[in-house]
Amino acid sequence: MLRNRVRELRARHGYSQTALANRVDVTRQTIGFIEKGEFSPSITLSLKLAKELQISVDELFWLEEDLDE
């Protein structure tokens, strides 16, 4: 499963979900789904998010073994 630190870093930068969504040109729902780990963003969106949150992509997203599978 794809894990991420989007929620934590967004809070650190003081962005709301809508503000971050506007900065990377997606809807608020997309940020919500990424934060919950329910949606895996494309490479392009991952790079945009990493740039906005001033972090590298591999520090923002990482794979974690899913025990259910």
Partner 1 sequence: MNKNDFRIQVPLWNIALWFILIIWTYGVVYLVDLINGDFEGVFKVENGELTADFNVLPLSSVVIGLVLLIVFLIAYFFKLKRHNDEHPIKMNFITFLKPGEFLEDDELLKQVTENATKRIYIFYSHALPLLIFFMVIFPLDRYLYVVMLFLLLIGHNAMYYLEIRKFLSGNYKLHTSKRVKNNRFSKMFVTVMLVALIVAIVFPINRVNQIDQNQQELLSEYESCLNEGKTATIDFTGETTVRCD
Report in angstroms how near the CB of residue 34 gets to partner 1 at its nearest.
Answer: 8
Taking the least distance from each CB to partner 1, the nearer of 9 and 46 is 46
Identify the residue whose tokens are 């967004």: 10
Taking the least distance from each CB to partner 1, the nearer of 12 and 27 is 27
How far apart are the C-alpha atoms of 69 and 58, rounded to whole Å? 23
E strand residue ranges, the chain: 2-4, 61-63
Which residues contribute to the site for partner 1 (CB under 8 A)?
25-27, 29-30, 33, 38-39, 41-42, 45
Identify the residue whose tokens are 């392009």: 44
Taking the least distance from each CB to partner 1, the nearer of 26 and 47 is 26
